A and B are shown apart, each in its own frame.
Chain A
Amino acid sequence: MRRLLLHPAAKPLVFAACLLPFAWLAYGAFADALGANPAEALVRATGDWTLRFICIVLAVTPLRTLTRMPQLARFRRMLGLFAYFYVVLHLLAYAWFDMGFEVEEIARDIGKRPFILVGFTAFVLLTPLAATSFNRAIKALGARRWQLLHRLVYLIAGLGLLHFFWMRAGKNDFGEVAVYAAIVAVLLGWRIWNAARSARLQRPRNGRLPLSG
Chain B
Amino acid sequence: MLLLRPRDPGFVHPRASEITPRAVYEGRRDLLRLLAGGAAGAALASWAGREALAQGKLAPLKGAKSAVAGAQTMEKLTDVKDATTYNNFYEFGTDKSDPAKNAHTLKTRPWTVEVEGLVKKPGRYDIDELLKLAAQEERIYRLRCVEGWSMVIPWVGYSLSELIRRAEPLGSAKYVEFVTLADPKTMPYVGSRILDWPYTEGLRMDEAMHPLTLLAFGMYGEVLPNQNGAPVRLVVPWKYGFKSAKSIVKIRFVEKEPGTAWNKAAANEYGFYSNVNPDVDHPRWSQATERRIGEPGGLFAKRRKTLLFNGYEAQVGQLYAGMDLKKYY
Residue positions of A touching B, CB distance < 8 A: 27, 29-33, 35-40, 42, 96-98, 100-102, 109, 112-113, 115, 166-167, 169-173, 175
Contact = CB atoms under 8 A, between A and B. Distances in A.
B130 interface: no
Contacts of A35: 48, 85-86, 96-97
Given A31-B36, A39-B299, A40-B149, A173 B194 contact: yes
Contacts, number: 81
Helix, strand, loop or mixed for chain A's interface? helix
A97 B45 contact: no
A-B pairs, top 9 by smallest CB distance, nearest first, are: A36-B86, A36-B82, A172-B194, A31-B36, A173-B94, A33-B44, A170-B269, A36-B293, A38-B299
A30 B299 CA distance: 9
Contacts of A39: 291, 299
Contacts of A173: 94, 194
B284 A113 contact: yes
Interface string B273-291: 0000000011111100001
Contact of A172 (B7, B195, B293, B298): B195
Nearest to A98: B303
Given A33-B36, A33-B48, A172-B195, A38 B294 contact: no
Interface of B: 3-5, 7, 32, 36-37, 41, 44-45, 48, 79, 81-82, 85-86, 94, 96-97, 149, 193-195, 265-266, 269-270, 281-286, 291, 293-294, 298-300, 302-303
A170 B283 CA distance: 9
Contacts of A29: 299
6 contacts: A37-B86, A98-B303, A101-B4, A170-B282, A171-B94, A171-B265
A166 B284 contact: yes
Given A113-B284, A167-B284, 16 more contacts: A30-B37, A32-B298, A35-B96, A35-B97, A36-B81, A36-B293, A37-B293, A38-B299, A39-B299, A98-B303, A101-B4, A102-B4, A109-B286, A115-B284, A169-B284, A173-B194
Contacts of B285: 113
B258 to A, nearest CB: 20
B299 A101 contact: no
Scoring A29, A30, A36 by chain B CB atoms within 10 A of each residue's CB, the highest score goes to A36
Contacts of B266: 169-170, 172
Contacts of A175: 94
A17 B41 CA distance: 21
Contacts of B195: 172
Nearest to B195: A172
A38 B300 CA distance: 10
Contact of B299 (A42, A112, A166, A170): A42
Given A36-B293, A109-B286, A171 B194 contact: yes
A34 B282 CA distance: 26
Given A170-B284, A171-B194, A172-B195, A37 B45 contact: no
Contact of B32 (A32, A38, A102, A113): A32
Contacts of B282: 170
A168 B27 CA distance: 38
A142 B189 CA distance: 53
A132 B130 CA distance: 68
Nearest to A42: B299
B293 A97 contact: no
A109 B284 CA distance: 9
Nearest to A170: B269
A40 B295 CA distance: 14
Interface centre among A29, A31, A39 (most CB of B within 10 A): A31
A36 B94 contact: no
A40 B303 CA distance: 12
B308 to A, nearest CB: 20
Nearest to B5: A100
Contacts of B86: 35-37
Contacts of A171: 94, 194, 265
Contacts of A98: 303
Given A37-B293, A167-B284, A31 B44 contact: yes
Contact of B291 (A32, A33, A37, A96): A37
B45 A33 contact: yes
A35 B281 CA distance: 26
Given A39-B299, A172-B194, A172-B266, A31 B45 contact: yes
A98 to B, nearest CB: 8
